[in-house]
């Protein structure tokens, strides 16, 4: 088992949050920071006041401005907040017994719906970047995949994707290619980091980096050239297939 980094040394966990938004945001990136420690040792992580951006990640010799946003399975309109509320209530009640529990009320949507939701969030954050102060060595956008998003499967380890059958592998490759195209077309950020929280018993979270051009500092996981080439030539026929998503959650306290 991986030795867990001591994140309590970071300002965002050492200091009392000023409001509930800060408290939620620091919880949302905890697993990601645990995973990022495999690639870069930050001297500190703190809130940026006033936002934007939300955070400052401080590696040796620079400061990275970081904005965080959630990406839903689709652009929720009427009833979306109710569904999110039901999920949070269900999540709070999952017992600590190591048994998988299922939430299946996300509703029906397509992968194209999820791509639209991704682009929608991206555009919102891109519009805010003009208000950022200058002087950052890099600008990052963290795209936190909420439970129910189909993209959580394509940010898993590349080895696991390559073990899938040919049809599934082609679909994963197509999604990675289309996400990469969105990031390149809306190239306001040096790096877009898409991630989904898993468990601190494993690697903390699955993540995939979409760097602007060849700017992949720190060697973060990114789509392989093989996957992008395969995705460029794959079919879109599955994008409008309607399907249901479910969240499976297992709670087991870490000793």
Q: What is the pLDDT of residues 16-75, one digit of tens each?
A: 888 888 888 998 899 899 999 999 999 999 999 887 899 999 999 899 999 998 887 777
Confidence of residue 103 (pLDDT cuts 50, 70, 90): low
Q: What is the pLDDT of residues 205-243, one digit of tens each?
A: 889 999 887 677 888 999 888 889 999 998 888 888 876
pLDDT of residue 252: 44
pLDDT of residue 242: 76
**Model's pTM, two decimal places?**
0.81
Q: Per the structure block, which two tokens stand in for 249?
A: 């959650």
Q: Are 64 and 140 a contacting pair, CB within 8 Å? A: yes
């Amino acid at each position: 088992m991986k030795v867990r980094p001591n994140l309590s040394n970071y300002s965002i966990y050492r200091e009392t949050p000023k409001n509930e938004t800060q408290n939620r945001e620091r919880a949302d990136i905890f697993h990601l920071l645990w995973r990022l420690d495999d690639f870069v040792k930050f001297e500190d992580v703190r809130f940026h006041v006033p936002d934007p951006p939300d955070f400052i990640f401080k590696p040796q010799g620079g400061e990275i401005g970081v904005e965080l946003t959630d990406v839903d399975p689709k652009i929720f309109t009427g009833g979306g907040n109710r569904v999110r509320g039901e999920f949070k209530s269900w999540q709070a009640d999952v017992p600590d017994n190591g048994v998988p529990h299922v939430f299946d009320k996300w509703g029906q949507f397509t992968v194209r719906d999820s791509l639209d939701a991704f682009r929608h969030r991206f555009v919102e954050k891109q519009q805010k970047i003009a208000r950022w102060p200058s002087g950052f060595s890099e600008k990052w956008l963290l795209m936190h995949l909420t439970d129910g998003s189909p993209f959580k499967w394509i940010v898993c380890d590349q080895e696991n994707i390559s073990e899938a059958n040919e049809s599934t592998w082609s679909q994963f490759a197509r999604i990675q290619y289309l996400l990469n195209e969105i990031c390149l077309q809306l190239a306001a950020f040096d790096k877009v980091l898409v991630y989904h929280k898993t468990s601190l018993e494993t690697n903390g979270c699955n993540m995939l980096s979409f760097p602007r051009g060849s700017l992949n500092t720190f060697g973060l996981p990114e789509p392989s050239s093989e996957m992008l080439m395969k995705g460029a030539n794959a079919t879109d026929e599955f994008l409008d297939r309607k399907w249901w998503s479910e969240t499976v959650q297992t709670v087991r306290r870490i000793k």
